[in-house]
């Protein structure tokens, strides 16, 4: 009697069952058991109520429920993947483990270890493309080298794009497609040392991601006009879903390509930026530790610790900066325009090392992605490839007046300024009159630095570099 071949699908940043590259490949090679491993090295140091852990957990529960309805299960494990995955593969006699390729240096090292251990037991690890539209070797210069400037990369990316690149990778959700299984591991949020988090739970799962995508598609035509205004809600709010793979990047690209107009094209461009940063991290892994541009690797940042604390907690005295930083702490999210503004403020007004800001974002962003976060910070700090010129410095007041003209966003996150009018709310210290009873320095901080003076200091600091 023929025994069906068995495969193991190792979920990582692809927490869904639909349009799933690793699952589709695994089903083509045998009956599948899906598994996820909580790696203690990645959990160490996180807050007990970290929203990202809750997002992962509830996404896994949604997958588990659907697989159990098919007579299978999701194996949820805890431990070093280099031990857990080969052990599970041996237990179910899987000849191949399928997983989506990851581009981060630590993940690449992990996968090399797992592959070596599997090979020693006569098994294989097959990594497939899923996180990006184009893989790291698919969009290269004529010389076969990686692009380090976005505009020609985007041009080549779009020229190469075909329907096959964004087509859905079908997964057959039928009992005979999955291995009969009942998970005997007793992993839970509590045993992992974590508590539930309503923010993570609200963003969890494939169904929630599909709802967010449908809601955004209804307004995608206006994306180019609304995307820079944080009070308007013009963005997709899908960054966490894309980060954890509760929706595929192909689904997002298909949505953009299904619409004509500037809004859809602008949103597609954001996906191109994402591919660009992923391939940069792959080809230049040293950017994780320091500046892409050698000239800035020895730059000495003279910023003050008290200023860093004020920036982290939203107490700088610059309302737009403080609103954005408070939203990050309370929700785990920040509008992309504001990510650029607060990063510029930290590096070029406060003269603090961009890596400290990058690490703060890494701790608090629900959608934290190493490639995108690193790329964004190095862009703002002018230390990255194709970054903004070092002499371009955002004025936090001008940015506030331009992108939050009536102060609605500021008033939401800095309620102590709610009574200020639309002019004063952007720069209370410049106001000719403030509401009765409001005292600057007591009810809201005075600016911790003078932007004009700090701009000159930043220009001198950057200008000294070779």
Question: What's residue 1's pLDDT?
Answer: 41
* Per-residue buried b or exposed e for 310-326, using 16+ beta carbons within 10 Å of the residue's own CB: bbbebbbbbbbbbbbbb
Give tens-digit pLDDT for 337-352.
999 999 999 999 999 9
Residues facing residue 125 across a β-bridge = 97
Q: Is 377 a catalytic residue?
A: yes
Q: What percent of the chain has pLDDT over 70?
A: 99
Tell me the HSE value of 54 on the side-chain side, using a 13 A CA sphere.
17
Instruction: Answer for the pair 76, 15: CB distance below 8 angstroms, yes or no.
Output: no
CB of 118 within 8 A of CB of 81?
Answer: no
With a cut of 80, say whether residue 2 has pLDDT above it: no
The reply, when asked if residue 465 is annotated as ligand binding, is no
pLDDT of residue 185: 82
Per-residue confidence band for 300, with pLDDT thresholds at 50, 70 and 90:
very high
Q: Which residue has the higher pLDDT, 434 or 57?
A: 57
Q: Which one of 336, 395, 416, 429 is the catalytic residue?
A: 336
Contacts of 84 (CB under 8 A, 6+ apart): 37, 77, 78
Residue 273 annotated as catalytic: yes
369 labeled binding residue: yes
Given a cut of 80, whether residue 230 has pLDDT beyond it is yes
Q: Is 238 annotated as a binding residue?
A: yes
Instruction: Establish whether 155 is an annotated binding residue.
Output: no
Provide the pLDDT confidence category of residue 4 given band limits of 50, 70 and 90. Answer: confident
Whether residue 374 lies in the annotated active site: no
The chain-wide mean pLDDT, for the chain, equals 97
**pLDDT at residue 330 in the model:** 98
Q: Which among 10, 57, 181, 273 is annotated as catalytic?
A: 273
* Distance between CA atoms of residues 445 and 429, nearest Å: 9
126, 185, 270, 416: the catalytic one is 270
139 against 466, higher pLDDT: 139
- Residue 463: C-alpha distances to residues 20, 352, 400, 425, 459 (Å): 48, 16, 27, 34, 6
Residue 237 among known ligand-binding residues: yes
- pTM for the predicted model, two decimal places: 0.96
Q: Which of 157, 282, 311, 377 is catalytic?
A: 377
Distance separating alpha carbons of residues 401 and 424, to the nearest angstrom: 10
Residue 344 among known ligand-binding residues: no
Query: Where residue 303 falls among pLDDT bands split at 50, 70, 90?
Result: very high
Mean pLDDT on 76-102:
98
**Is 78 annotated as contributing to ligand binding?**
no
State yes or no: pLDDT of 234 exceeds 60.
yes
Q: Is 429 a catalytic residue?
A: no
Average pLDDT for residues 319-335, to the nearest whole number? 99
Given the candidates 1.10.20.60, 3.40.50.1370, 3.40.50.360, 3.40.50.620, the CATH classification of the domain at 6-131 is 3.40.50.620
223 labelled binding-site residue:
yes
Q: Pick the closest to residue 400 from 346, 345, 456, 332 (CA basis).
A: 345
- 354 pLDDT higher than 50: yes
Q: Binding residue per annotation — 271?
A: yes
Question: Could you state, in order of their start, the residue ranges of all structural domains in the chain?
Answer: 6-131, 132-167+196-283, 294-463
Cα–Cα distance, 373 to 384 (Å, whole number) = 12
E strand or H helix that includes residue 74: strand 74-78
User: How many residues are given for the chain?
Assistant: 466
**Mean pLDDT within 71-83:** 97
Tokens 């007041």, residue located: 397
Q: Which helix (H) or strand (E) holds 9?
A: strand 6-11
181, 354, 379, 413: the active-site residue: 354
pLDDT, residue 301, reads: 97
pLDDT band at 159 (very low <50, low <70, confident <90, very high): very high
The answer on whether 59 is annotated among ligand-binding residues is: no
Catalytic position from the list 138, 217, 288, 301: 301
CATH topology of domain 132-167+196-283: 1.25.40
CATH class of 294-463: mainly alpha
236 in a labelled binding site: yes
């Amino acid at each position: 009697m023929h025994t069906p071949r068995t495969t193991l699908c190792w979920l990582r940043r692809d927490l869904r069952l639909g349009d799933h590259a690793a699952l589709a490949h695994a089903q083509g090679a045998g009956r599948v058991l899906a598994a996820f491993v909580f790696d203690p090295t990645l959990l160490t140091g996180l807050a007990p109520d970290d929203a990202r852990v809750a997002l992962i957990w509830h996404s896994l529960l949604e997958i588990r429920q659907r697989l159990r309805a098919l007579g299978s299960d999701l194996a949820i494990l805890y431990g070093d993947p280099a031990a857990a995955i080969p052990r599970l593969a041996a237990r179910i006699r899987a000849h191949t483990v399928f997983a989506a390729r990851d581009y981060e240096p630590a993940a690449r090292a992990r996968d090399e270890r797992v592959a070596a251990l599997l090979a020693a037991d006569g098994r294989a690890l097959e990594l497939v493309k899923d996180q990006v539209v184009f893989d790291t070797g698919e969009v290269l210069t004529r010389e076969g080298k990686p692009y380090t400037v976005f505009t020609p990369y985007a041009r080549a990316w779009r020229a190469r794009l075909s329907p096959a690149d964004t087509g859905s990778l079908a997964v057959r959700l039928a009992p005979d497609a999955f291995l009969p299984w009942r998970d005997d591991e007793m992993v839970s949020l509590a045993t992992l040392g974590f508590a539930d988090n309503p923010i993570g739970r609200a963003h969890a799962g494939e169904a929630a991601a599909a709802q967010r995508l449908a809601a955004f598609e209804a307004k995608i035509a206006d994306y180019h006009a609304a995307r820079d205004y944080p009070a308007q809600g013009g963005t997709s709010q899908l960054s966490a879903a894309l980060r954890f793979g509760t929706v595929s990047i192909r689904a997002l690209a298909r949505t953009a390509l299904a619409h004509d107009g500037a809004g859809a094209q602008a949103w597609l461009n954001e996906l191109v930026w994402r591919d660009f940063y992923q391939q940069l991290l792959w080809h230049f892994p040293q950017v994780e530790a320091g500046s892409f541009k050698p000239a800035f690797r020895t730059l000495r940042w003279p910023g003050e610790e008290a200023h860093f604390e004020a920036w982290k907690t939203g107490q700088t005295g610059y309302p737009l900066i403080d609103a954005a930083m408070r939203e990050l702490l309370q929700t785990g999210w920040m509008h992309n325009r504001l990510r650029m503004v607060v990063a510029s403020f930290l590096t070029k007004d406060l003269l603090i090392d961009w890596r400290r800001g990058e690490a703060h974002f890494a701790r608090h962003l629900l959608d934290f992605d190493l490639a995108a976060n690193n790329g964004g910070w190095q862009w703002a700090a002018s230390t990255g490839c194709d970054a903004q010129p070092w002499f371009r410095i955002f004025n936090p007041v001008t940015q506030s007046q331009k992108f939050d003209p009536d102060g609605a966003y500021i008033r939401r996150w800095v309620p102590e300024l709610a009574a200020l009018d639309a002019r004063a709310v952007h720069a209370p210290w410049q106001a000719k009159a403030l509401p009765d009873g409001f005292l600057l320095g007591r009810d809201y901080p005075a600016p911790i630095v003078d932007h004009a003076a700090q701009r000159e200091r930043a220009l001198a600091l950057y200008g000294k570099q070779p």
